[in-house]
Amino acid sequence: KQWYQRRVPITAGKPMKIVSNGEMHRTHKCMIVHDPFLRNFEAERFSQWFDVTRIQFHSINEILKKGSLISKINALSPEIVYLHIGFGDLLSKTEGNSIIDMYKQLIYKLLESSKAKICISLMIPVLGYPETNSRLKQINKIVSDFITQLRNQTRYEDRIFTGYNDSLSGFVNRTSGPHGVTVALNERGQKKLFIKMRDCLQRSLGHTNPRRNKGGRNDYSRNNLHYE
């Protein structure tokens, strides 16, 4: 068969991409704000549906102190901001209540200062840190409950989502870095997280084909559209 490009009108301001069958479809601008867990992220191998820009920070505290994230978001105007951050704050011995307060402050800033939808990817437990993991799970639970409360408000119900990552705890490598202990997912763990990330982004856009597990249960809960 002769390959050809179907002519499709391109709406101004709506980026398009040619896929393998010659069709063209709209891509969605996405900003990924992340810690070292995603430092090896390769945007070009992620998904043909998303035009990804990524920014790396060590911690929520760094984001709030620098204060540059909102201006970067407004300059890019992404449809979705995917946030995977928090473990650096935990390793720095910051009090749990302070981390929760920083999460809330950042979430409110993102919601109030931009029109983007927000996906909060909760922290990944790391084997070998029982005390840290106990604090991590408590923080994840409180942040998740907070987002559920936001979603119960009509103003935010379709703008903020969360993703669970507990199943990735066995795929984390620990190394030493400029900030002390640095953690990152191994190659297999990254692939698993990227699948979760892609599905979470698609769900936030209203796509109705979430991945199902072996038992046939949707990986999204109804009250908060979590991704497990």
* Residue 101 clears pLDDT 80, i.e. is over it: yes
* Residue 46 clears pLDDT 80, i.e. is over it: no
CA distance 115 to 96: 29
Quote the tokens at residue 124.
């990944």
Residue indicated by tokens 């005390």: 131
Quote the tokens at residue 208.
């109705």
Name the strand (E) or helix (H) holding 5: none
So what's the pLDDT on residue 129? Answer: 81
So what's the pLDDT on residue 56? Answer: 92
So what's the pLDDT on residue 153? Answer: 87
Residue indicated by tokens 């297999």: 188
* Residue 221 clears pLDDT 60, i.e. is over it: no
Quote the tokens at residue 45.
């191998």
Question: What predicted TM-score, i.e. pTM, was given to this entire model?
Answer: 0.77
Higher per-residue pLDDT: 46 or 226: 46
So what's the pLDDT on residue 160? Answer: 93
So what's the pLDDT on residue 41? Answer: 74
Band of pLDDT at residue 95, cut at 50, 70 and 90 = very high
> Mean pLDDT across the stretch 105-134?
92
Higher per-residue pLDDT: 152 or 40: 152
Band of pLDDT at residue 177, cut at 50, 70 and 90 = low
> Mean pLDDT across the stretch 25-48?
79
Other beta carbons within 10 Å of 29: 17
> Mean pLDDT across the stretch 24-35?
83
So what's the pLDDT on residue 70? Answer: 93
> Mean pLDDT across the stretch 112-120?
94
CB 143 within 8 A of CB 119: no
Band of pLDDT at residue 225, cut at 50, 70 and 90 = very low
CA distance 113 to 107: 10
* Residue 166 clears pLDDT 70, i.e. is over it: yes
Band of pLDDT at residue 205, cut at 50, 70 and 90 = confident
